[in-house]
Structure 1
Amino acid sequence: MTASMRPSVSVVIPALNEERNLPLIAEGMPPEIDEIIFVTGDSRDNTTAEGRRLWPDGTHLRQSRRGKGNALACGFAAASGDVIVTLDADGSADPAEIPRLVEALVAGADFAKGSRFARGSRCADSTWFRAVGNKFLNGLVNILFRAEYTDVCYGFSAFRRHCLDVIDLPDVAVSAPQWGDGFEIETLISVRLAAAGAKIVEVASSPCSRIPECGNANAISDGLRLLSTVQRECRRARSAPRFSAAGLPGARHARPG
């Protein structure tokens, strides 16, 4: 990809109690990234200080409400890039793969979705129970939203800036908790873009070697919440904005000044 073809890229990293994993993420970050936006909450360790040490030229924010979804929303509001990448701080995705997501967008996609289960990926971070649950949720989303996802819950993705209008996350200035503030954010983004008719491409992704004991979510309660997310977003999709024939929604999200 030539310099003239390359879009500017902002990487949004939400982080909570991830001090030990951050050096792994920083080590793999491609040098051509234009902007790092590091968003933290009420970490009990030195996540905030470690983020500032590793990315001294980055944009460092404190999220306005609790939850991963709000952290991403704060990062999106500050991002100035043509392309916005979401990257978890727990080592569940390899930042060295970011250029592959960007290449998919340059080739014409609106949304490049990382997948640990697409052909070519090497994923060892899944129990049998999780694998079955993930397959069920993917199948449900694909039927309801006419998509072809294999890893709808994965937090590694990239999208063109105009997708922010369709994703339509809550205003970060509101103090009360909002729908979309929690970990359901990956599923929410995926289904809203699918429902809107965005051009979606999956990119095979192989997770980093995560430090043990990190990223241990409760599979049963999380699964039930994600099912509730799909149900709620299915109702919302009936009146949600869609991409036009030209592939662009409205242009409400200008770059931050």
Structure 2
Amino acid sequence: MNISVVIPLLNEQESIIELHDWIANVMQSNRFSYEIIFIDDGSTDHSWQNIMQLSHQNDNVKGIKFLKNFGKSQALHAGFAKAEGDVVITMDADLQDNPEEIPELYNMIVIEKYDLVSGWKKKRYDSVISKNLPSKLFNWAARKTSGVELHDFNCGLKAYNKNVVKNIDVNGEMHRYIPVLAKNAGFLNIGEKVVQHQARKYGVTKFGMERFVNGFLDLLTIWFISRFGRRPMHLFGALGVIMFMIGVGFSIYLGIDKLIFNPTGRLITQRPQFYIALVTTIIGTQFFVAGFLGEIILRNKREHHRYLVKQELNFT
């Protein structure tokens, strides 16, 4: 199979059929063998009924329905696990991503041998204050922190070699950082393509300003995981050594000063240096404990399901 199109969605009943027809037309005109995987992330409208209708009309349409809303990352994880195409395309269901971009994205993966190609919505139709400016700041921070030179980490339109999606673990809210996850997994040939952005035709956005706050927090998480995820003791142990040595240094200073230079002076416990020594020693010990616990958890972690599937369509 040439292409798997993975589409996570939440309450997009108005756009699903139109998006399907558009994608199917592109695939047929380019003679691609394809599958379209809709992942219904707990919709409360008629999205799943529309997906069921399409699956009866077109055997290439497959569906996964979550028991409730688990988030976009979990939806992508489920879609990646089921995808069978040599190239996997992800896009949003709101018609803001243009399916006409698919053939060129496919060629960049197959012919130009990219591992991953991310869309760049250079010209946007979103609000400048509520989306464009925060998005630019977010993308700048993501580039500086991750070392992945992309202009638009948040763009839902991306293309992947199948080996990428089968070897990365998208969880939490890490869908924003799939290129970073791919880089950390060893897929270094990451490209970018300017894609057409279209104004939302139906409904309203499912993401508010809080996604940028969450995005920056996730950025800190992925920075930590990429640098210390396999060796947490290297971070916590180093911090523990620094804090512990500060505490020991102040303790030695207080002891020498009391025994040699000021034996009749005020008590050690009446001096502020005593409390600095006490606090830093305790904090240093806690950092060591955190590092040990991190190493123990890392060596004993087990796979667990992060979402529950209620129903599937057309999967064999």
- 8 Å contact 1:11–1:33 — kept in the other structure? no
- 8 Å contact 1:21–1:210 — kept in the other structure? no
1:166–1:146 distance in 2 versus 1, CA, 3 Å: farther
Q: Which amino acid in 2 is paired with 1:113?
A: S
Largest Rg, 1 or 2: 2
* Residue in 2 that maps onto 1:223: 212
- 8 Å contact 2:115–2:164 — kept in the other structure? yes
* Structure 1 position 12 matched with structure 2 position 1: no
* Residue in 1 that maps onto 2:265: none
Q: Output the CA distance in 2 between the equivalents of 1:74 and 1:126.
A: 31
- 8 Å contact 2:174–2:218 — kept in the other structure? no
Q: Output the CA distance in 2 between the equivalents of 1:213 and 1:148.
A: 32
C-alpha RMSD of matched pairs (Å)? 2.3
Q: Output the CA distance in 1 between the equivalents of 2:102 and 2:120.
A: 13
Deviation of 1:165 (Å): 4.8
Give the match's secondary structure for 2:177.
helix
* Structure 1 position 154 matched with structure 2 position 155: yes
Identify the match of residue 77 of structure 1 among 75, 78, 81: 81
- 8 Å contact 2:119–2:157 — kept in the other structure? yes
Deviation of 1:200 (Å): 1.0
In the alignment, structure 2 segments of 5+ residues that lack a partner are: 231-314
Identify the match of residue 113 of structure 2 among 93, 97, 108: 108
With CA pairs under 8 Å and 6+ residues apart, which has the higher RCO, 1 or 2? 1
Task: Select between 205-214 and 78-87 the one with higher mean Cα deviation.
Answer: 205-214
1:126–1:50 distance in 2 versus 1, CA, 3 Å: same
1:216–1:37 distance in 2 versus 1, CA, 3 Å: closer
What are the superposed Cα offsets for residues 216-250 of structure 1, whole Å, 9 maximum, x if unpaired?
Answer: 5212x111100011100011112579xxxxxxxxx
TM norm structure 1: 0.77
Task: Select between 105-114 and 23-32 the one with higher mean Cα deviation.
Answer: 23-32
Q: Output the CA distance in 2 between the equivalents of 1:240 and 1:12.
A: 28
Task: Select between 11-20 and 40-49 the one with higher mean Cα deviation.
Answer: 40-49
* Residue in 1 that maps onto 2:197: 207
1:51-200 equivalent positions in 2, closer than 5 A: 51-55=51-55, 56-57=58-59, 58-63=61-66, 66-106=70-110, 107-117=112-122, 122-169=123-170, 180-181=171-172, 184-195=173-184, 196-200=186-190
1:131–1:84 distance in 2 versus 1, CA, 3 Å: same
* Residue in 2 that maps onto 1:36: 36
1:43-54 equivalent positions in 2, closer than 5 A: 43-54=43-54
What are the superposed Cα offsets for residues 51-70 of structure 1, whole Å, 9 maximum, x if unpaired?
Answer: 23234312211236611111
Q: Output the CA distance in 2 between the equivalents of 1:91 and 1:152.
A: 19
Give the match's secondary structure for 1:237.
helix
What is the aligned length? 220
Higher relative helix content: 2
1:111–1:240 distance in 2 versus 1, CA, 3 Å: farther
Deviation of 1:76 (Å): 0.9
* Structure 1 position 237 matched with structure 2 position 238: no
Q: Output the CA distance in 2 between the equivalents of 1:136 and 1:187.
A: 14
Task: Select between 206-215 and 130-139 the one with higher mean Cα deviation.
Answer: 206-215
In the alignment, structure 1 segments of 5+ residues that lack a partner are: 1-6, 170-179, 242-255
1:210–1:78 distance in 2 versus 1, CA, 3 Å: same
Give the match's secondary structure for 1:147.
coil
Q: Output the CA distance in 2 between the equivalents of 1:51 and 1:21.
A: 11
